[in-house]
Structure 1
């Protein structure tokens, strides 16, 4: 078993931010450490750098990608607005890892995080045990930054299994051309839904459905953002599952929604009540034919490897305050809840490191300061 002071799971935005701030505060990658050094390691399940960006659809250009925020200490280099984000951003992440010599270990898949046990049961003063497909680690602290891309959310609707067309999640979207000439039902009220609506509607007949009517806004004022983040923070503190920030802020008008509106395709319809063999049944009883149903219905946090810690509340979330688990203070869960955005992930990585240094070995579970 290898031992390390801080183990970071995931090398996306949040994980790399945490690694950067660990190194700034004189933690050393385990591969280059001497006996007296404080150490860290970053484990990443991907074959290469870039996190979820390397899996985005090719038509997601730098000009239309939403919410790019540079990693700490190294700006995103200038890029052609028409360049694909899945080409530019993984390369940027790779350059970042090399520039700061973060020594990310990959591909390493974490199977479980558990408490060390003794004859008397779980030991609150011992390191956490991290089991992977390439060995086991003991870690004084674990910073979980696994994101959401690997866990797409598929809502359940009656009749899903009877549909004879194609159903896919936005995670598996490749390009609009594969839907040319077809009838495509697009489900969801987020940014991906409207981006793909604008794109697919150029080559196919589209029907856009959402559970609620979007609340359109021309921009977000600072008080609105602050309120949304505060509500997200309160939810995760109480152990409720994180919600999309869009639910609080409303939908922002963007260049792609304006283009869709000008072409008359930005028309929201109420959510269908069931799926049938060749289409969907609407709330008024009418039938809409469909060849494809595209679920742009978001993602959930990938946390199944934390199950041995038994942190899930009856509501389905994990109690977290300022990125730190309230029920296992040796664990930080970042890129979760209010820190899901790229700028939030950067701050969460920094704050986790500061918290480790300020309070490295909390002894009173569930009693951390707000």
Structure 2
């Protein structure tokens, strides 16, 4: 018997919430959880359709695993199903990080050993991310050179505009170097959204990207400024959650909205919770403006993901066949490695590794994560405990 739309929505919410409570390990692990649940167990879509959806979300900026979850929800229950899928998968980590931010409020944590331990956790986690992404995204000399130049430009000109220019330059370089690459095999896109709806969402995405900075200056509103910063971060991030770190850091730390200690403490805590790393924004929003700030930050950073996945679905077949676009994306992906490497140096390394003991702890945590294959929450708890005892 065919389920009603309401029953489908309830099923989507229950399954996505369970995944949101148990999906540790980052975006690649999330895709594995989704495949097991939605393809193998529930059979909501077949292998080819799932692979096509994953490829689309890897192509787009924003949180890839969240976008895959949204896409599956849309396939199963329409746009409302997509929102419900997102809500269930994201809400557990949002709540956990908001509570963590509220517990920190009013406490003097500048000299806390456990906080230093969390900062060193961030060193190990980002080092692991850089290492893994570099192996995958910079396999040849040209792409390693793009990454090196992107790192250099990002460190020399530490502004949000500089990062946008670096990404654009890398895209142009990739287009020149890789536009003649052989066309890869592809499967047909899942046609679940009309082209008219897709055009509307893509138009809205670019309109907000252009208008929000102007509205920020015209109104002087703190909330609009926050929404603009988080929206821009969600709209311009290629490569997953770790790459959002430098964008957000340069929006809020140099401007004096929060200290580096508070920023990195939240980033370390975000490693301990399941679900998407982009919920780090919920922590930042709570630090800035309480629960209202958490809502604004969460809406701002995830809205581009919704607009892009809905907007791109109807056109993905054409995009994947275009070798020029694939070449540009190849260059952008290489630049992502360089941008993340720059963030690894500043602010993470420069503000966290100041003694030999700090370096030793970071090396142990990296080994636990990269070679012993322990889950991220174990690394976070170990780092905080070691910091409290040793630092």
Larger Rg computed on CA atoms: 1
Band of TM-score, shorter chain: under 0.3
TM-score of the superposition, structure 1-length normalised?
0.23
Which is richer in strand?
1
Q: Which has the higher contact order (CA 8 A, sep 6+)?
A: 2
TM-score of the superposition, structure 2-length normalised?
0.22
